Chain A
Amino acid sequence: EAGVAQSPRYKIIEKRQSVAFWCNPISGHATLYWYQQILGQGPKLLIQFQNNGVVDDSQLPKDRFSAERLKGVDSTLKIQPAKLEDSAVYLCASSPTLAASYNEQFFGPGTRLTVL
């Protein structure tokens, strides 16, 4: 079974530039998550999709971050414009259903973003 795919793996941009990350979840997984992990902190949930609908985006900085999940499969996360404090690892995860194994999630390798 193929795992969660993410690209790019690394990205370096200057502040005020835009950047986009892509995620392809495990086939058949209904729920998709984007997390932000800042160095020294635990992953923080940015947005959760159930199929192609948003379930929770309460911690997404909507003035600069946006995300979509077209057709309930792939997802993109965009930052526009980027700030220095956006430097982090952006993790995508998916799960088949929330109740399966108490929402055990399957993670991609992440995208490490550096904003200069």
Chain B
Amino acid sequence: ILNVEQSPQSLHVQEGDSTNFTCSFPSSNFYALHWYRWETAKSPEALFVMTLNGDEKKKGRISATLNTKEGYSYLYIKGSQPEDSATYLCALCSNDYKLSFGAGTTVTVRA
């Protein structure tokens, strides 16, 4: 089990504003980092899988970066919309392909 921390635990954003939050981990001894989005009453869905230091991924207004040397990943939401309201989970895939999840960052976008 890998130690994964996410901050902040929750945040409120005004519609149209951009925001970002962090996933941090103490070790670079893992295969990949996953980001999932979990909307209320729905299934968690995969956003990104990142493996290399310096990786950057983008899907629409959401993007993520990975820094394995300093042990963090950022997820950015540009021009937040109400449909971005969700809990964003970060998970590390260890060498035995187990996923260790952080507690998540819950984003609420206010219209």
**Residues on A facing B (Cβ under 8 Å):** 3-4, 35, 40-45, 48, 56, 91, 98-99, 101-110
Contacts and interface: CB of A to CB of B under 8 A. Distances in A.
27 contacts: A40-B9, A41-B103, A42-B4, A42-B100, A42-B102, A42-B103, A42-B104, A43-B89, A45-B98, A45-B99, A56-B98, A91-B44, A98-B97, A102-B31, A102-B51, A102-B93, A103-B97, A103-B98, A103-B99, A104-B49, A105-B46, A106-B43, A106-B46, A107-B36, A107-B44, A109-B43, A110-B43
* Interface size classification for chain B: 20 to 34
Contacts, number: 53
Contacts of A56: 98
Contacts of B43: 3-4, 106-110
